[in-house]
């Protein structure tokens, strides 16, 4: 496997690929042409070295991924719109804040409210936290099942599969081609889907140390632990994606790999070509 790790994200009719210092978004337009947008990454960790340390780098990667992902989605959407739009700084901040607010509401506040009705009937804090974890995972699965039925999302999931296949193709050190990429799996241990599931499971583990707090305290503790949970989950995903990964790391990533069967679809050769163009653009810049 090559020393550098690359990853990406599916967008509207395309794929965003990301390297250590560059990103590229490739989108196939309605006329069949592939347009590519390349940018240099300006990460805070370049200026503040401590942000490259374990745990810290996971938190930085999370926020950076959200920003890059929104910009990539905006670029891809602009290829099919008569009016081109760009997200300014405040629009990015407000969009991320709303997204976080909704996520906290659905996956922190709502489960905590449900647990507040249940915990008076249970004496075991471990049992309460396991039930809360099951509620969170159930909400996540229901959400994925609902959106997977939308036609536009099915196309995005196909490009998600294309992204994973092309990353596998690159890591195998075989020449990048749609034909070579097609033979690889649509599942990858460093996937964002895997990360989200591990975040949920990690939060259950860490929260087990806090007993049976009140509803408000439960919510506040969960929110305050999010950076630590994200940082630890990032480190776990990073280790699980290595060829020589410890069996425990691979085992921890296994549920997320199975979940990717819902968030990826088998791509066409044309879709694989788009993903390859995106990765090749990043590799060219990183040389």
pLDDT band at 89 (very low <50, low <70, confident <90, very high): low
Decide if pLDDT at 83 tops 70.
Answer: no
The reported pLDDT for the residue numbered 129 is 85
Over residues 57-79, mean pLDDT: 88
The reported pLDDT for the residue numbered 220 is 93
Over residues 59-77, mean pLDDT: 88
Decide if pLDDT at 114 tops 90.
Answer: yes
The reported pLDDT for the residue numbered 201 is 84
Q: CA gyration radius for the chain? A: 20
The reported pLDDT for the residue numbered 3 is 66
Decide if pLDDT at 93 tops 90.
Answer: no
For every residue of 153-183, DSSP letters joined together read: HHHHHHHHHHHHHHHHHHHTTSPP-HHHHHT
pLDDT band at 33 (very low <50, low <70, confident <90, very high): very high
Q: What are phi and psi of 251, to 5 degrees?
A: -65, -40
The reported pLDDT for the residue numbered 1 is 61
* Digit-coded pLDDT (tens) for 244-278: 778 888 888 888 888 899 999 999 999 999 999 99
Helix extents (H) in the chain:
44-47, 56-78, 89-104, 110-118, 125-147, 151-171, 178-182, 192-207, 215-240, 247-263, 269-286
Decide if pLDDT at 118 tops 80.
Answer: yes
Most confident of 2-6, 39-43, 179-183: 179-183
pTM here is 0.87
The answer to whether 129 touches 208, Cβ cutoff 8 Å, is yes
The reported pLDDT for the residue numbered 269 is 97
The reported pLDDT for the residue numbered 157 is 96
The reported pLDDT for the residue numbered 84 is 67
Most confident of 4-8, 11-15, 115-119, 150-154: 11-15
**Lowest mean pLDDT, pick from 9-13, 49-53, 67-71, 116-120:** 49-53
The reported pLDDT for the residue numbered 256 is 84
Our measurement of the distance from residue 129's CA atom to the centroid of its chain's CA atoms, rounded to an integer in Å, reads 24
The reported pLDDT for the residue numbered 250 is 83
| pLDDT, averaged across the chain | 88
Contacts of 215 (CB under 8 A, 6+ apart): 112, 113, 116
């Amino acid at each position: 496997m090559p020393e550098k790790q690359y990853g990406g994200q599916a967008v509207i009719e395309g794929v965003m690929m990301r390297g250590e210092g560059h990103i590229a978004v490739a989108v196939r337009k309605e006329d069949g042409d592939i347009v590519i947008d390349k940018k240099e990454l300006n990460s805070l960790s370049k200026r503040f070295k401590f942000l490259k340390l374990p745990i810290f780098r996971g938190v930085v990667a999370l926020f950076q991924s959200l920003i890059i992902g929104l910009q990539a989605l905006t670029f891809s959407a602009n290829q099919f719109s008569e009016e081109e739009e760009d997200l300014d700084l405040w629009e990015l901040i407000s969009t991320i804040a709303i997204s976080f607010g909704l996520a906290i509401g659905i996956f922190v506040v709502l489960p905590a409210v449900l647990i507040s009705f249940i915990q008076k009937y249970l004496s075991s804090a471990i049992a309460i936290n396991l039930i809360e974890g099951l509620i969170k995972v159930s909400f996540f699965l229901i959400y994925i099942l609902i959106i997977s039925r939308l036609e536009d999302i099915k196309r995005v999931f196909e490009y998600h599969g294309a992204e994973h296949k092309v990353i596998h193709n690159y890591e195998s050190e075989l020449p990048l081609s749609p034909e070579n990429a097609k033979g690889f799996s649509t599942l990858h241990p460093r996937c964002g889907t895997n990360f989200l599931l591990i975040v949920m499971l990690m939060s259950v583990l860490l929260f087990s140390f806090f007993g049976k707090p009140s509803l408000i305290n439960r919510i506040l503790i969960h929110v305050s632990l999010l950076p630590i949970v994200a940082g630890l989950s990032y480190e776990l995903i990073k280790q699980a994606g290595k060829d020589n990964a410890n069996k425990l790391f691979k085992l921890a990533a296994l549920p997320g790999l199975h979940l990717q069967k819902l968030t990826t679809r088998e791509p066409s050769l044309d879709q694989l070509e788009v993903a390859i163009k995106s990765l090749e653009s990043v590799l060219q810049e990183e040389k």
